[in-house]
């Protein structure tokens, strides 16, 4: 598969993420129905690494808005990736 610019699509498994009130990355709170399935596939070419983690993400039991998924932000391997902003 290719993008319009001829760039290869690099689909990879990813997990949705959340943040705790102390600012640490975590798994989303599973009590929210939208968070029930945290695994998905993304085209890594459309994302940029914003953080590196050195452990498995802990569960988040905090209540909304903490514990909810962060839109367009995923964990792949030991990295946290966010969708690249469109160029102006």
Task: Flag whether pLDDT at 19 surpasses 80.
Answer: yes
What is the number of residues in the chain? 88
- Tokens read off for 49: 């690494």
Q: In 3D, which of 85, 27, 87 has the Cα closest to residue 53?
A: 27
pLDDT of residue 43: 94
- Bigger pLDDT: 31 or 84? 84
Q: What mean pLDDT comes out for the span 17-37?
A: 80
44 class by beta-carbon count within 10 Å (0-12 exposed, 13-18 middle, 19+ buried):
middle
81 class by beta-carbon count within 10 Å (0-12 exposed, 13-18 middle, 19+ buried):
buried
> How confident is the prediction for the chain on average, in pLDDT?
84
DSSP 3-state assignment of 35? helix
pLDDT of residue 7: 63
- Please state the pTM of the whole predicted model: 0.80
Task: Please write the tens of the pLDDT for every residue from 52-77.
Answer: 999 888 888 888 777 888 889 999 99
pLDDT of residue 2: 47
């Amino acid at each position: 598969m290719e993008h319009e610019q001829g760039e290869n699509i690099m689909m990879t498994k990813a997990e949705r993420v959340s943040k705790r009130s102390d600012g640490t990355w975590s798994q989303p709170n599973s009590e929210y129905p939208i968070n029930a399935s945290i695994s998905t596939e993304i085209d890594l070419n459309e994302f940029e690494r914003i953080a590196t983690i050195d452990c498995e993400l802990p569960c988040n039991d905090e209540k909304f808005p903490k514990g909810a998924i962060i839109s367009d932000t995923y964990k792949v391997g030991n990295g946290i990736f966010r969708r690249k902003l469109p160029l102006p």
